[in-house]
Amino acid sequence: MERTNPPVARIIGSGIAGISAAIRLARKGYAVEVHEANTYPGGKLSQFRLGAYRFDAGPSLFTLPEHVEALFTLCGEQAADHFPYLKKDESCRYFWEDGTRLVAHSDPEAFALEAEKQLGEPAAHTRAHLALARTQYQATSGFFLERSLHSWRTYLRPAIFRTLAAVPSLGLTRTMDAMHRKRFVSPHMVQLFNRYATFNGSSPYQAPGTLCMIPHLEFGVGTFLPKRGMVDITHSLVALAERQGVEFHYGHRVAQITYEGRRATGIRLESGEVLGAEVVVSNMDVTPTYRRLLPQLPAPEATLRAERSSSALIFYWGLDRLFPELNLHNILFSDQYEGEFQALFETKTLFPDPTVYINITSKDVPEDAPKGGENWFVMINAPSNDGQDWDALRHQAREAILAKIHRVLGVDIAPHIVEEDFLDPVRIESRTSSDRGALYGSSSNSAMAAFLRHPNRGSLKNLYFCGGSAHPGGGIPLCLLSGKIVGDAVPAA
């Protein structure tokens, strides 16, 4: 007898990876239902308002927009009709305490020339480094990022030979910092490129040189901003999913993944309602998925015990004045960068002189702040939550950040803060179920970290994982690819 109703796929969590998976499973013929504990979609990629100021709550950097566009193309739509964005001419503005400043232009040649002028770094060094980053990324992304590392089929593809040929140049046995010190003569330039370890919550003094390819995303592809703010990635993809028939259920907290034998059979909500499914996808952090939703199932303890990535402490400040010396992305570097990462990963505390990141979307989206004001998203790296006194640390950090801004920009901004809120590892964990508030699941502070991430297939048949704590990792592009890997792995309905 032919099936009259399509098989059901239930997705736990509406983070960007879960939304990506939902769209792809709907296109494969499933009746997809997404169960979200919060009253809004997006997980970390959400928004809120403080008075007249709008803030993106989480991710602030948008690269590789083609992964968003691919979902519209898959559904036969034009992304430009639903998701407008702009490309920035600048990647970031950098500031050091010795008065050095650098505008990092998105164009690689312009960046190389500016770095030579401001930092004394020969332009040839920057060109060579970015060219190698491009080559490494192109040789490895199709293998490491776009396909499951845990499927034997991945290793039978012809592209594996291109990846293997690139292995000697990847710096697997050297740290990012060691690679950068070999390639650059300016300490400022070394620090600038070391910063890219934070893109997946790691330390440049421990993470392998493989991550030196990350800058290709900014200088080889570009830095972008959705014209309606970062949250529009969430909103536009939720709308796309709904046009494919996906149903989103908010305030649906899942209490258990049900299974019989070695096969996932559905979910049980906290309300007690049991909902069957042919496919279950967890977009929840893998640690609470096992600890809370599958407590009787043997867990992959080595994966769950892996070192957590860094977290973040964010202040959202609505200011009543303008700062023309700043742009969308701005970095005020610590004078003791190695000490900052030792504090994050060894002593598990905040460094007294933190590197400060300031994101101001009102530079490009004027309606995000009232006229004459700016919306500042001010972030420092923080350790994951291991029971620290976050109230005390937050107050100390606020004073340290204000003092650093005063020293570097020459302005006491405290009197200009008219709206304020914060996000710390405790709140991150509470709002997104990220284990200990870690932003990227496990860190990448070892050469084998990519292989130790949780696979996209679970140990139960019909159970899948996507999101920042699963392969290929955290950040918007990788989470979108995580959803793609799941969509490719689930058989057509």
DSSP letters, 258-272, are EEETTEEEEEEETTS
Which residue, chain included where needed, has tokens 């867990």? 299
Which residue, chain included where needed, has tokens 């969590």? 13
Can you list the positions of beta strands (E) in 261-411?
263-269, 274-276, 279-282, 311-319, 329-332, 356-359, 374-382
What pLDDT score was predicted for residue 137? Answer: 87
Token pair for 268? 């049980």
Collect all residues with Cβ–Cβ distance below 8 Å to 221 and sequence separation of at least 6.
63, 64
Cα angle for residues 101, 86, 418 (degrees, 5° grid): 60
Q: Which helix (H) or strand (E) holds 61?
A: none
What pLDDT score was predicted for residue 3? Answer: 52
The DSSP code for 308 is: B
What pLDDT score was predicted for residue 152? Answer: 45
CA dist., res. 378 & res. 35, Å (int): 31
CA dist., res. 192 & res. 177, Å (int): 10
Q: Report cis status (omega within 30 of 0) of the bond before 472.
A: yes
For strand 463-465 and strand 279-282, is the pairing parallel, antiparallel, or unpaired?
Answer: parallel
Amino acid 269 reads: L
What pLDDT score was predicted for residue 1? Answer: 39
- Is the separation of the CB atoms in 323 and 409 below 8 Å? yes
What pLDDT score was predicted for residue 4? Answer: 73
Amino acid 180 reads: H
Q: Name the phi and psi angles at 130, rounded to 5.
A: -70, -35
What pLDDT score was predicted for residue 165? Answer: 53
**Domains of the chain, first to last:** 8-46+228-307+440-489 (3.50.50.60), 126-222 (no CATH)
DSSP H helical segments within 75-174, as ranges? Answer: 108-119, 123-144, 159-166
How many beta carbons lie within 10 A of that of residue 257, not counting itself?
25
User: Mean pLDDT in each 10-residue stretch from start to end of the chain (493 residues)?
Assistant: 79 98 98 98 97 97 97 98 97 98 97 98 97 86 64 55 55 85 97 96 93 92 96 98 98 97 97 98 97 95 92 98 98 98 98 98 98 98 97 98 98 98 97 94 80 86 96 93 96 93
Can you list the positions of beta strands (E) in 311-411?
311-319, 329-332, 356-359, 374-382
Q: Which helix (H) or strand (E) holds 55?
A: strand 53-56
Strand partners, 313: 380
Q: Supply the pTM of this predicted model.
A: 0.94
- N- to C-terminal Cα separation, the chain: 15
Q: Is 210 helix (H, G, I), strand (E, B) or coil?
A: helix
CA dist 301 → 9, 150, 281, 432, 461 (Å)? 27, 17, 20, 22, 19
What pLDDT score was predicted for residue 72? Answer: 98
